[in-house]
Amino acid sequence: MACGTCKKAKNRECKIVNDNVNLYIQKMAEADGVILGSPTYFSMMSPEMKALIDRAGYVARANDAMFKRKVGAAVVAVRRAGGIPTFDAINHFFLISQMIVPGSSYWNVGVGLEKGDVEKDEEGMKTMEDLGKNMAWLIKKLNATT
Ligand SMILES: Cc1cc2nc3c(=O)[nH]c(=O)nc-3n(C[C@H](O)[C@H](O)[C@H](O)COP(=O)(O)O)c2cc1C
Q: How far is the CA of 86 from the centre of ligand 1 (A)?
A: 11
Q: Which atom of ligand 1 is nearest to the CA of 115?
A: 25
pLDDT tens, residue by residue, 92-112: 999 999 999 999 999 999 999
**Ligand 1, pocket-test mutation among 40, 50, 117, most atoms within 8 A of CB:** 40
| Number of domains making up the chain | 1
Find the CATH number of the domain harbouring 39. 3.40.50.360
Domain ranges, residue 52:
18-145
Q: How confident is the model at residue 145 (pLDDT cuts 50, 70, 90)?
A: confident
Domain-embedded: residue 9: no
Cα(110)–Cα(128) distance, integer angstroms:
8
Domain-embedded: residue 1: no
71-78 sheet: strands from edge to edge: 33-39, 71-78, 109-111
Cα(73)–Cα(89) distance, integer angstroms:
12
- CB-based contacts of 132, cutoff 8 Å, min separation 6: none
Domain-embedded: residue 97: yes
Q: How confident is the model at residue 134 (pLDDT cuts 50, 70, 90)?
A: very high
pLDDT tens, residue by residue, 44-59: 999 999 999 999 999 9
- Enumerate residues lining ligand 1, CB below 6 A: 39-43, 77-82, 112-113
Cα–Cα separations (whole angstroms), residue 60 to 24, 39, 46, 87, 108: 12, 24, 21, 21, 25
Domain-embedded: residue 12: no
Residue 36 parent element (H or E): strand 33-39
- Indicate which residue's Cα is closest to atom 19 of ligand 1: 113
Percent residues over pLDDT 70 in the chain: 100
Domain-embedded: residue 4: no
- Indicate which residue's Cα is closest to atom 4 of ligand 1: 41
Percent residues over pLDDT 90 in the chain: 98
pLDDT tens, residue by residue, 85-94: 999 999 999 9
